[in-house]
């Protein structure tokens, strides 16, 4: 396992920055180890919702978990507003960094992660393949 540490800057979109990183590193299989930071706004899709909800900041990124590769990603996050209310859900484009985001990612060298349509769920679901 190889680890990467990133610091994102103000104005960056979290999801876009992570996809750019995965592409630049030719990452085949990665997992989020830890993340924290702040957003000016966050875009989360809550459970069973069709669309994302935009939450205006300032917000704190409390946690981030998920899988990522150059082929795509699936991220869930928890954020807190200035009153300490916590929101969690599927991370969508539009989570804009306010001051920083500090993220540690582990690369899993013997695997390839990608997504394909699952007829049972109707969603793009994780496919795990061993690399030779």
Mean pLDDT of 8-18: 98
Task: State percent of the chain over pLDDT 70.
Answer: 100
For the stretch 16-48, pLDDT in tens is 999 999 999 999 999 999 999 999 999 999 999
**Residue 132: pLDDT above 80?**
no
Domain interval for residue 62: 2-130
- CATH of residue 106's domain is 3.30.1330.80
CA 63 – CA 84 distance, rounded (Å): 14
Q: How many structural domains is the chain composed of?
A: 1
DSSP of 12-38, one letter per residue? -BHHHHHHHHHHHTT-SSEEEEEEEEE
């Amino acid at each position: 396992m190889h680890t990467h540490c990133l610091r994102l800057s103000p104005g960056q979109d979290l999801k876009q920055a992570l996809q750019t990183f995965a592409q630049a590193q030719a990452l085949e299989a990665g997992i989020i180890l830890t993340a924290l930071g702040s957003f000016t706004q966050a875009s989360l899709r809550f459970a069973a919702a069709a669309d994302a909800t935009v939450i205006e900041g300032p917000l704190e990124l409390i946690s981030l978990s998920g899988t990522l590769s150059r082929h795509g990603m699936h991220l869930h996050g928890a954020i807190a507003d200035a009153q300490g209310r916590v929101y969690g859900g599927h991370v969508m484009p539009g989570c804009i960094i306010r001051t920083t985001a500090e993220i540690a990612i582990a690369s899993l060298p013997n695997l390839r992660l990608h997504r394909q349509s699952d007829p049972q769920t109707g969603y793009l679901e994780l496919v795990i393949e061993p690399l030779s």
